Amino acid sequence: MSALSKGQNGPLTVDAVVVDVTFAALADVSALLVTDRGVVRSDNDFVFYNQPMGPGVQLKPGPGRMARLHVVTGQVPADIAAVRTVITLDDAGLRFGQFPAPIARILDVAGNELYSYMIEGLSSESVVVAIEIYRRGNQWKVRAVGQGYAGGFADLVRDHGVSVDDEPTPPPPVQAPQPVAAPAPVPEISLSKNRPVNLLKGQRVTLRKDGNVALTDIAMALGWDPGRGRSIDLDASVLMYSGSECMEIVCFYHLRSNDGSIVHSGDNLTGHGEGDDETISIALQRIPPHIDKLGFTVTSFLGQSFKSVQNAYCRLVDTTTNTELARYTLNQKVPHTAILMAAIDRQNGEWKLRAIGEGFSARTPKKAAKQSRQFM
């Protein structure tokens, strides 16, 4: 075993290694497969929890809280010069300097430690390239990198050739606003399987169908198309609220709620293709009584804003008859990385759907839960 300091390197004598990271706070491990120019060839060269496999590289659960990166050098494409291990703090409001230094270890497949690197000197960074496994001629080596990014995840992926739209600069506060008339309330409407409705922003519908029968089994289907021919990894999720507290999130990494009342269809990594991209099925009669609100969000993991997304919509389906009852289409370009598309509220024993369409900054369902409270 050899301890590395920043900038040091050493040879690899085995062709299969495991990168294990130890850290005091919640964080995600990912990998970038880069060419000799230091950039990815495409988004497929970014390996993370939502896309855990790449050529010669795989992210697998580890014995602790963080995943491990498994690298088989003989399976890495010839035009890939290095595999870079990245650590990203789960809470973007935290910084590495608030915790003891993370430690990255290189192990062989039997678990024997080959190298270790304590990543010291971090302060305001929220993302760091820990180590890289790189090619020198016919030999593979490991280098301690320790390059942090105070600008966060977006700075990291831009630096490695991933296209990310900038968030707009917030407008200056308006001084002494003049009183304006309150907008007229959007009327609540009824549902009919013979007459699906197109919802307006802010509009509400009671979840009853023809004959004034309460809906029991529904699905919220969400769809989108990537703009300018790009693949955009969007994630649909449902946030289960009790009052102002999000109690549970059903999404691509937690496909079924603990009580079984909500089931996610699984992840769509590109948005390409016709029809719905992700569907969330809900048995309204099985939702626990303490859950009074469900929020339906779509988040952009790689940080592209919804300016790059076309034809985003959500639609309510009665799954007992497979009938579309209502649809809300997002008609404006939203300069944010997350959207709360709609909410279902329990009011006096009845469920009501509300079209929302509000944008905010969040790349993951967990972060979206914190930001969505203001609209719920």
CATH of the domain at 238: 2.60.60.30
Q: Looking at residue 104, what is its pLDDT?
A: 96
Reply yes or no on whether the pLDDT at 78 is more than 70.
yes
The structure tokens 């915790």 sit at 99
Q: What is the model's pLDDT at position 367?
A: 86
Q: Which pLDDT score is estimated for 349?
A: 83
Q: How confident is the model at residue 270 (pLDDT cuts 50, 70, 90)?
A: very low
Q: Is the pLDDT confidence value at 167 over 50?
A: no
Burial of 137 (0-12, 13-18, 19+ CB in 10 A): exposed
Residues 100 and 203 occupy one common structural domain: no
DSSP lists the bridge partners of residue 59 as 69
Together in a domain, 107 and 221: no
Same domain, 152 and 201: no
Does a structural domain hold residue 180?
no
Q: What proportion of the chain, given as a percentage, has pLDDT over 70? A: 83
Choosing from 131, 159, 187, the residue where a domain stops is 159
Structural domains in the chain (count): 2
At residue 191 the predicted structure's pLDDT band, cuts being 50, 70 and 90, is low
According to the model, what pLDDT value does residue 168 have?
44
In this structure, is residue 181 part of a structural domain? Answer: no
Q: In what order do the strands lie in the sheet with 338-347?
A: 204-206, 350-360, 338-347, 293-300, 234-242, 245-250
Segment (H or E) for 194: none
Is there a domain that residue 177 lies in? Answer: no
> Which of 109, 143, 159 is the C-terminal boundary of a domain?
159
- Give the integer Cα–Cα distance in Å for 248 and 260: 12
Torsion of CA 205, 299, 224, 335, to 10 degrees: 90
Q: Is the pLDDT of residue 272 over 60?
A: no
Instruction: Show which of 159, 183, 210 is a domain's final residue.
Output: 159
Could you tell me the residue range of the domain that residue 341 belongs to?
A: 197-375
Asked whether residue 75 is assigned to any structural domain, the reply reads yes
pLDDT at 3 over 70: yes
- The pLDDT, as a whole number, for residue 188 is 62
Given a contact cutoff of 8 angstroms between Cβ atoms, the answer to whether 205 and 189 are in contact is yes
Report, as an integer, the average pLDDT of 209-223: 81
The predicted pLDDT at position 11 comes to 96
Are residues 133 and 209 both part of a single domain?
no
Dihedral through CA 299, CA 304, CA 308, CA 314, nearest 10?
Answer: 0
Which pLDDT band, with edges at 50, 70 and 90, does 311 fall under? confident
In this structure, are strands 82-89 and 127-136 parallel, antiparallel, or unpaired?
A: antiparallel
Clarify whether residues 304 and 358 are in a common domain.
yes
Termini Cα distance of the chain: 53
Distance CA 123, CA 143 (A): 21
Length in residues, the chain: 376
Shared-domain flag, residues 243 and 336: yes
pLDDT score of 233 more than 90 = no
* Contact by Cβ (8 Å): 18, 106: yes
Q: Based on the domain organization, do 292 and 150 belong to the same domain?
A: no
At 163 the pLDDT is: 56
99 and 227, same domain (yes or no): no
User: Does residue 274 share a domain with residue 135?
Assistant: no
Q: Which of 3-12, 76-85, 86-95, 313-322 is the least confident region? A: 86-95
- What mean pLDDT comes out for the span 153-177? 58
C-alpha 13/C-alpha 133 separation (Å) is: 12
Per-residue confidence band for 268, with pLDDT thresholds at 50, 70 and 90 = low
Is the pLDDT reported for residue 271 higher than 50?
Answer: no
> What pLDDT does residue 185 have?
52
371 and 247 belong to one structural domain: yes
The reply to whether 191 falls in a domain is no
Q: Is residue 283 part of a domain?
A: yes
What does the pLDDT read at residue 166? Answer: 46
**Domain shared by 121 and 261, yes or no:** no
- Return the pLDDT at 26: 82
Is 167 inside a domain boundary? no
Q: CA–CA separation, 19 vs 104, rounded Å? A: 7
90: confidence class by pLDDT, cuts 50, 70, 90: confident
Instruction: Give the chain's mean pLDDT.
Output: 83
Q: What is the pLDDT of residue 176?
A: 52
Average pLDDT over residues 23-46: 89
Q: Are 223 and 353 members of one domain?
A: yes
Does residue 168 lie in a domain region?
Answer: no
